[in-house]
Amino acid sequence: MNKYSRLQQFRFDTHQMLVKSKDAAFQLMDSIMATENARSLAEFSLSPFFHRQWSSTYEAIEDCRPNGNKFMRRYIQEIPILEYFLFGIDHTRWEFEDSPTMKDRTYQYSHCSVHSSVIGQGYSTIAWLPQLDHQGSWTLPLRHERITSFETPLNKATWQLKQVCQKLPSNIPKLVVLDCEYGNATFLKQTANVKVSKLIRVRSNLCFYGNPEPYSGRGRPKKHGDKWKLNESDNFPCADEVLEMEDPSLGQIRVSKWTQLHFYNAPLQTLTLLKIERLNPKKTGSKHRPLWLIWVGEEFLSLEKIWSQYSRRFGVDHWYRFAKQRLHWTLPNFRTPIQCQRWSDLIVNITWQLWLSKDLVQEHHLPWQKPQENLTPQRVARSMISLLMEIGSPTQTPKSRGKSNGWQKGRKRNKAKVYPTIKKRQSKSKKRRKT
């Protein structure tokens, strides 16, 4: 068995799972890996790895049938059996400002634009975060799917988490790290039946509640105890556990832990509150606000490892930037959301091919760049041309089909239907008036 057998088997399985137009779609994926700069989808046909005409790039997305469930099961086979599984969940936007014929466009939050929102589609991602022996930004998505107009990021993340956990061994602990958008009672109640531990950042203006006092025997039993305001953390009782350690990048850190707390709207979901403080910041006179985290579920990590595991969450943001800038995820302007989802599934598969190739490629770096021992996704993508030429492709040689008849004379052309932009509204429960 040669050193390329694992990658070749993965590429062969991918080729078979594309079903229709699999040769054109697979060659399009190789062209994406070999093309660093492109201005349109048709420019990928100029790559030497694409052996068809430029129109086949659009036909590949129109005809291929990548199945997200089959792809996810194939990705899980590449995950080694470790002490525990670490996942990250986040969501991003794909802007479609000038696409009125795109169905199901919604308003997406944007911190980069002049206005607070842009028109486009949201995509939720659940990714496996490999445990690296060195600092790196490798993130391997398992599911990367569109958030429809009748879904929320929380609902989509819950569904994706259930789908992934069903295919993993039940005897190995699972940990998912999330940002503050998921740190609320709604998400905890939605994922209460999922056997996974959650490490979530929470906003510093939230309130938690302790356990109530023992039942006195009169009236309805209390659900909540003392109120804990994070803005008034100086009044908190002594922590159940305190740890001071030295972080290589942040200096000395203090981690405080309080147990047996809950949200007001989720009294049955017990959580552990963690406070991370920088004691000796490198810049003199600078003030750093503490970082608040909550742990929900089975605790199988020590305080020393919790901070390092949460910092791996930022790998999902790195993958979003890599997918948009290098893998050209948001470059094409498709007509339908189905085509956007097919294209997104191909981008995720390309990421896994780069991961399997990181120890096989011979690094090619620019003259002003330093060589790396542990290659980043960007370096691997830049060095893929020689590897693709060496391992070959499972596709077949294209056959000429003759000249197309073109548009029939006298056939009427209809304008594309224009769809309105959907604005999501958050439903608020009506309070019952006292009579």
Its pTM stands at 0.91
Q: What's the confidence (pLDDT) of residue 1?
A: 63
As a whole number of angstroms, the distance between CA 187 and CA 191 comes to 6
Q: 386 Cβ partners below 8 Å, 6+ apart?
A: 361, 362, 364
How far apart, in Å, are the Cα atoms of 302 and each of 104, 262, 293, 414?
45, 21, 14, 64
What does the CA dihedral 274, 275, 279, 284 come to, rounded to 10 degrees? 140
C-alpha angle with apex 433: 432 to 435, nearest 5 degrees? Answer: 130
- Is 149 within 8 Å of 104 (Cβ atoms)? yes
Strand (E) or helix (H) holding 319: helix 314-325
How many Å apart are CA 351 and CA 339, to the nearest integer?
19
Q: What is the pLDDT along the chain (435 residues), one digit of tens a residue?
A: 688 899 999 999 999 999 899 999 999 999 999 999 999 999 999 999 999 999 899 999 999 999 999 999 999 999 998 899 999 999 999 999 888 889 989 988 877 656 678 899 999 999 999 987 666 789 999 999 999 999 999 999 999 999 999 999 989 999 999 999 999 999 999 999 999 999 999 999 999 999 988 888 888 888 999 999 999 888 899 999 999 988 877 888 999 999 999 999 999 999 999 999 988 766 555 567 899 999 999 999 988 888 888 988 999 999 999 999 999 999 999 999 999 999 999 999 999 999 999 999 998 888 998 998 889 999 999 999 999 999 999 998 888 777 778 888 889 988 888 998 888 876 555 544 443
Torsional sign, CA 190, 193, 194, 198: positive
Task: Tally Cβ neighbours within 10 Å of residue 252.
Answer: 13
Token pair for 100: 């009125």
d(CA 65, CA 254): 51
- Contact criterion met (CB below 8 Å) for 393 and 26: yes
Q: Give the C-alpha separation, 130 to 355, whole Å.
A: 10
